[in-house]
Every structure is written in C-alpha cells, then in structure tokens.
Amino acid sequence: MNLNKFILGLAFIFLTNSFVMADDINPLLVAGFKSKNNNEQTQNIQQEPISLDNSTLLVVDEEENLAPVFKKYQPGKDEVVFSYTKNLINSIDPTAISNKTGSYLPGARGINQLVVYTPNYGPRTNTNEYGAEAIVEGNTVTELSGADSLIPPNGIVISGHGRAKNWMNSSIKVGTKIYIDKDTNIIYTYTTSESYIFESEKKISEAEQMLNYYKNVSPDYNWKLPGSYIADAKNYLKKARKSPEDVQKYSKLAIEAANDAIKSVVPYKSGELKGVWLRPTEKNADAIEDTLNRVKKAGIDTIFLETYFHGKTIFPSKTMSAYGFTPQYEQFKGFDPLAIWIKEAHKRNIKVHIWFETFYVGPQNPKDNAQSILGMNPSWGNKIKKDVDSVDPSKSTSEHNGYFLDPANPYVQDFLAKLIDEIITNYKPDGINLDYIRYPNCVSGSEITSWGYTDYARNEFKMIFGVDPVDIVKSDPLWLEWNNYRRQKITDMVKKVGELGRRKHTYISAVIFPDRQAALNNKLQDWKTWSTRGYLNGFTPLFLTCDSKTANKMMSDVINAKSANTDFYAGLFVTFMSGTDEDLIRLIHEARKVDAKGVILFDYAHLSNKYINTLSTSVFATQSPFKNAFKIGQPSPELQPASKKGWWIFVKD
C-alpha cells in the first residue's frame, strides 16, 4: 500500500473525530484535484489533492443496524473530498419539552438552531418558512427544501434557522454526504467527486422525466431546445466520469446544462392563472404603472394586492373612519392607490384580487396607537389561556409577535364584513383572497398556549355547555366541543364573506394550510367543511418548500380533501425562500401535474430579475413552445379539444 495514501487516510479519520462549536460555520477542510497549471488557490483549500484510498483501512462497524447517516462516512476508492465541515446539532427530533429554546416555534426549532428530524419524529418537520432544510436519504442529500419537509423513511431532514441556516447554505448541496455522531451530536458534511456526479445524474433524470411528460401530453410539444440541453448535459457527464482530474469542472457544466433544460422544458399553458401576491409600497401613479409593467413583462396576469393588512387599509376607508380607526395607511395619505392599481391593471389585462388579512392586525402594540383597532377596542383581541386574567390581548410569539382579532366576537365579524363590502362595492375587484382566516398558530400542544380565551367566547361557550373553557383540559370530553366551537367561528366568517361574494358576483378564495390535520388542530381552520358546503370559490394554499416531491404530496392532499367545485391554485414560496429559478419551474410543473387552475408566487418583493427572466422566456411566455405558437397581439388560432384535461393542442396548418 502506498505510504502517502495511508498517512492521508489517517489524517482524514483524525479530522472526522475533531470537535467544533455551533458557531463555527466555515469549512474546516476543502480539498480538490490539483489543477493542470498548478495555480488554483482557494481560501481554506489545501493546495494538494486528497484522494482517499481507504481500501486497506480497517473499519469496524459496531452497530450494523444503524441508519446509514449515523455511520461514519468512508469515501470510496479514488473518491475525492472537495469540502468537509462539521457543526453541533442542537436537538434531534425536538419537542417543546426536550428543546425549550424552540418550544414556542413550529417544529420546535429555535432561533439560530440546527436540528435533525428522523422518521421517529413524524411524517414532516412542521417548520416555518424562516429556515433551510436538506432532505437526506441514506447518507446522501437528495433535495434542498425550505420548510415543513417530508421526512424520508430511509433518512433524515436537516433543518436550520439563522446562523445554522447560513451554515447549511454554505456547506450542503445536493449530493453531499452526511454523517451524524449521535454520541456527540456532531454532524459532518463531505462534498466529494461522487456528490457532483450524483447531482448531475439527478438533474438530467429530472429534466428527461419532465420532457417526456410534456411529449406525452401533446404530440405538438416542441422539445428540441430542452432536448439539446439534456444532450449537452449527458456529454459533460460522460467527460466527468472519464476525466477524474476534471470531474468538478465537467459535472458543473452538466448541472448547468440540465438546469437550462429544466428552465426551458415547461410550456406555456393557456387559461392558467399566473399570479403573484403583492404588498404595495408605491406612493404615486407612475410608480404603480412601473410595477405593473414589470409584472406584465414576467407574464403574470393576476395580482393579489394586499389591501387590508396590519389592521389598516391602503385606501381611504369610510368603514375604518366610522369606527374611529386609522382611516388609511399614513404613507398613502393624499391619494387612493387602490383605485389606481385596479384601473391601470385592467388596462394591461391584469386582474386584481384583494389580499385581505382577516384576523391578523400586525405586531404594533395597541397601546402605541390609540386609533388602532385594538387600541380602540382591546376586548376585540385574541388571548391564550395563560393570559386569561390580563386586560390586554396576547401576542403570537411564533408569528412575528403579532396580534389577532377574536373570531368569536360578532362585532369583529361585522366590522370585517362591512370593510370587505366597502371594497367590493366601491372598487369592484376581480376577487377577494382571505388570508389569516384562522386562529393564531398553537405550536406547543398544551392548552395553556391555546387561543380563544376571550371574555365573549368564554361567556358564550359557558352559556351553551355550562362550563367555562378555562376549566377544560385536553383530556376532558368537552375539549372536542371547545375545538368545534372555535372552528365554527372561523367557518361562520367564511360563510358570511362567501354569501357577500355571491350577492356581489365577486370571486372569493382563501389561503389555507395544506396539512389538513395541522390546520384543524393548530389553527382551528376547517377548510374541508368550507369546500364541501360551497362557501367559497377557491383555495390558494401556500406550499413552503422548494422540493418537488414534498410539493406534489401536499398539493395532492389538498385536492383529495376538497370538493371538486372548489378551485385549486398552488401558492409557491420558492422566491421568498431564495430558491433557484429552476426550483420555481419544477414546482410549477408539479402544479400542472395535479391539474391546478393556476399558480401564485409569494411574493412580489422577492420576485427578482432572475425569476422574471426565466418566467418571461418559458413557462409564462405567451409565445408558446408548441410548434404553431401564436404571436403576442395576434388572434388565437383555432383550437381542438385536448386528450388531456386542461391542455390545448394547436391545429396544424
């Protein structure tokens, strides 16, 4: 055996067993093949390559039944480790009890924490959108997700917030090998030559599957451009396998070509809603027009304009004034932006749905603004059981320390219904999109942090059942009734707005949480009942992931639970989570596969030019990738019925 290789192997084992604190997020060892000109130098990268031939090293596996990720990673013969990092795991399968730092946050993942979820935790991580997640199958990272990821039965999910998220973004990629030492709670990452090959193969396979899907959907699908990218990717992959000294170079080229294939493979779909949620910041008509022109360039045909949020309206509201509340957001005082948004959007054939934050009134302390809704009416605020004796409303610590209105209070519901009526009557938008149509998130599972313990709700419930809900614990039979009581209050509000929409011929949709059981238990949102009873027209659930598999599962769950008469639009969070533009295309593809009526991007503030350039030249481009695509401004060609529901096939000349 070569002595140099033996020494290098021992050095590798020594590094693997070293220790680092959680804040040490920089790579400790990065190795690569020596470049041909011997001039390549990278900070923290060793100049000489480390080719680990461990074929003669004795490794004793003391626990053969361990999952692969909990076994020390041993690179194969001729496999090269390009980068190596390690970090401290704060918790494995965290709970409110075992990880108190994250006890009040979704998934029990605390601020700046790095946590790991195994199949023992449950089917998904239940985390929020303010982190990063990596899905590991076996000991290999197979997907980079965002939140609430599905936990694979043969692996784990690594999840990080804050500093831990930054470490993940710099240390983990698709194909990275993972080893977790359960004795020390240290996680080790190894990005190797095999990592690059793995990612190349995965991306090429995904692009081919997408291309074949659309070829099967329509014989007129123009597959030549994405097909050429796939061919290029395969050629680069062959070179990567044949040229060990250039594996990194050619693998990156293969991945780049496969990404180009993914970005060009999904065709334009006629009749599909292409939307974006938009919080307005524009303070004059010119700025509004500039934004709408940019939206139009992206191929977006519908905006969901945030009109009532944090307890204020962007327009001068007579309803708000009548109640003594702040009549309009201060930054918009002196003009009516809502009127301009709708007028200018319609000029551009862009529809406007009102994004309406129903029960959420923002993080401002009511005592700091006497004219705020809760400043005027503190009894309208929602409360957790722990704060039942306080005269002040409770803050939702897991939701920006924000305040919520009490859905059980009929005066609250009447006020909100009047405000929506004012918007519909005076501005005639294309629809109303109800957001925060729920109770605040209850994350701990304990009734002490459960919501709804307001004076009105307690008195009404006691009048019906003879018991103050404060005296009910989860083991009591009446706990089910207390849950049903609160869920019904949300349902009553949905019914009220739905009836208003039907009278005014206005489309009503709602933002829902895709996980139905979590929505019922943690947010008291019974959206299946809304659908089966026909209270509204459509659902716009948000999918907090960049992972295709997770997104498809969540989309399918919603579709299988809702009524066929309730439209389904997929809300995509990729831009907010800074996913790649090909991630966005992949999720639009998943929405197409489940026959969604459209997609809505969250949100405009994060819709950077890279996304707009990709959307406007492919999936949202009105110049269809079908062979006989019609040009912008020309009449649509004659259509014949498609064999697949929701698709158009152009008649050949």
Beta strands 177-181 and 186-192 are antiparallel
Q: Are 80 and 193 in contact (CB under 8 A)?
A: yes
Give bridge partners of residue 508 from the DSSP assignment.
432
Q: Please give the Cα distance from 96 to 104 (Å, whole number).
A: 7
Q: How confident is the model at residue 622 (pLDDT cuts 50, 70, 90)?
A: confident
Same domain for 94 and 223, yes or no, is no
pLDDT over threshold 50, residue 48: no
Identify the pLDDT of residue 623: 63
The answer to whether 201 touches 194, Cβ cutoff 8 Å, is no
Mean pLDDT of 117-121: 96
Tokens (6 digits) for 60: 């004793």
Q: What is the pLDDT of residues 466-519, one digit of tens each?
A: 999 999 999 999 999 999 999 999 999 999 999 999 999 999 999 999 999 999
Q: Are residues 208 and 177 in the same domain?
A: no
What gap in Å lies between CA 649 and CA 167, rounded to an integer? 47
Task: Report whether pLDDT(312) > 80.
Answer: yes
Confidence at 644, pLDDT banded by 50, 70, 90: very low
pLDDT at residue 572 in the model: 97
Q: Using alpha carbons only, how large is the chain's radius of gyration in Å? A: 27
Same domain, 308 and 254: no
Q: Do 552 and 462 fall into the same domain?
A: yes
Q: Do residues 307 and 369 share a domain?
A: yes
Mapping DSSP to helix (H, G, I), strand (E, B) and coil, where does residue 426 land?
Answer: helix
Q: Greater confidence, 613 or 44?
A: 613
510 with 363, same domain: the answer is yes
* Residue 636 domain flag: no
Phi, psi of 560 (to 5 degrees): -70, -25
Q: What is the largest CA-CA distance in the chain?
A: 87
- Residue range(s) defining the domain that contains residue 132: 3-192
> How far is Cα 150 from Cα 146, in angstroms, rounded to an integer?
11
Task: Please indicate, yes or no, whether residues 288 and 156 belong to a single structural domain of this protein.
Answer: no
Query: Does residue 148 surpass a pLDDT of 50?
Result: yes
Burial of residue 513 (number of CB atoms within 10 Å: 0-12, 13-18, 19+): buried
pLDDT value for 11: 44
Domain assignment present for residue 120? The answer is yes
Is residue 140 included in any domain, yes or no?
yes
Which residue in this structure is represented by tokens 């309803």? 319
Other Cβ atoms within 10 Å of 248 Cβ, number: 18
Sign of the Cα torsion 348, 311, 452, 408 reads: negative
Instruction: Inform me whether the pLDDT recorded for 651 exceeds 70.
Output: no
> Does one domain contain both 185 and 201?
no
Q: Are residues 260 and 278 both part of a single domain?
A: no
Domain boundary among 265, 285, 320: 265
Is 302 among the domain residues?
A: yes
Residue with the two structure tokens 């194909």: 175
Rounded Cα gap, residues 275 and 60, in angstroms? 56
- pLDDT(14) > 80: no
Distances in Å between the Cα of 141 and the Cα atoms of 69, 135, 266, 304, 369 are 10, 6, 25, 35, 49
Q: How far is it, in rounded angstroms, from Cα 128 to Cα 147?
A: 6
Phi, psi of 18 (to 5 degrees): -80, 170
Amino acid letter, 180: I
* pLDDT tens digits along 320-373: 999 999 999 999 999 999 999 999 999 999 999 999 999 999 999 999 999 999
Which residues, in sequence order, are bridge partners of residue 45? 30
Q: Report how far apart, in Å, the C-alpha atoms of 336 and of each of 52, 136, 333 are.
A: 67, 51, 8
pLDDT digits (tens, 9 = 90+) for 255-279: 999 999 999 999 999 999 999 999 9
The answer to whether 537 touches 509, Cβ cutoff 8 Å, is yes
Span 429-456, average pLDDT: 92
Of all residues in the chain, the percent with pLDDT exceeding 90 is 78
| Euclidean distance between the first and the last CA atom of the chain, given in angstroms as a whole number | 70
Q: Give the range with max mean pLDDT: 70-74, 216-220, 323-327.
A: 323-327
Q: What is the pLDDT of residues 363-397, one digit of tens each?
A: 999 999 999 999 999 999 999 999 999 999 999 98
Tokens 């989570």 identify what position? 577
- pLDDT in the model for residue 103: 85
Residues 174 and 226 both lie in one domain: no
What is the CA angle 16-20-24, rounded to 5? 120
* Residue at 138 is within a domain: yes
Question: Last residue of some domain: 173, 192, 211?
Answer: 192
Across the range 176-202, mean pLDDT stands at 96
Domain boundary among 265, 289, 322: 265
Helix H segments across 304-370? 318-322, 337-347
Query: Per-residue confidence at 446, pLDDT binned at 50, 70, 90?
Result: confident
Q: Assess whether 138 and 250 both reside in one domain.
A: no
The span from the CA of 345 to the CA of 341, in Å, is 6
Q: Which two tokens stand for residue 320?
A: 């708000």
- CA dist 262 and 265 (Å) reads 5
The verdict on residue 652 lying in a domain is no
- Asked whether residue 104 falls in the same domain as residue 209, the answer is no
- Report the C-alpha gap between 512 and 559 in whole angstroms: 12
* Percent of the chain whose predicted confidence (pLDDT) is above 70: 85
Q: What's the pLDDT score for residue 65?
A: 62
Judged by DSSP in three states, 409 sits in: coil
Amino acid at 641: P
CB atoms within 10 A of CB 623: 14
**Which three-class secondary structure state does DSSP give residue 259?**
helix
Split into its structural domains, the chain has a count of 3
**Whole-angstrom distance, CA of residue 373 vs CA of residue 325:** 6
Mean pLDDT (the chain) is: 87
Query: Would 634 be classed as within a structural domain?
Result: no
Which tokens hold the place of 322?
A: 């009548």
Q: To which H or E segment does residue 538 belong? A: strand 538-539
Q: Give the pLDDT of residue 77.
A: 85
Predicted TM-score (pTM) of the model is 0.84
Does residue 238 register a pLDDT over 50? yes
- Give me the amino acid identity at 511: V
Q: Where does the pLDDT of residue 646 fall: very low under 50, low under 70, confident under 90, or very high at 90 and above?
A: very low
pLDDT digits 0-9 by tens, 538-578? 999 999 999 999 999 999 999 999 999 999 999 999 999 99
* Reduced 3-state DSSP string for 288-310: HHHHHHHHHHCCCCEEEEEEEEC
For residue 250, give Cα distances in angstroms to 6, 212, 481. 29, 25, 62
Residue 427 in domain: yes
Q: In Å, what is the CA distance from 522 to each residue of 366, 406, 451, 513, 535? A: 25, 16, 9, 10, 22
CATH at residue 574: 3.20.20.80
Cβ proximity of 54 and 74 under 8 Å? yes
State how far the Cα of 621 lies from the Cα of 639, in Å rounded to an integer. Answer: 19
Q: How far is it, in rounded angstroms, from Cα 124 to Cα 159? A: 12
Q: What angle, 0 to 180 degrees and rounded to 10, lies between the N-to-C axes of helices 193-217 and 224-242?
A: 160
Q: For the chain, count helices (H), then strands (E).
A: 17, 24
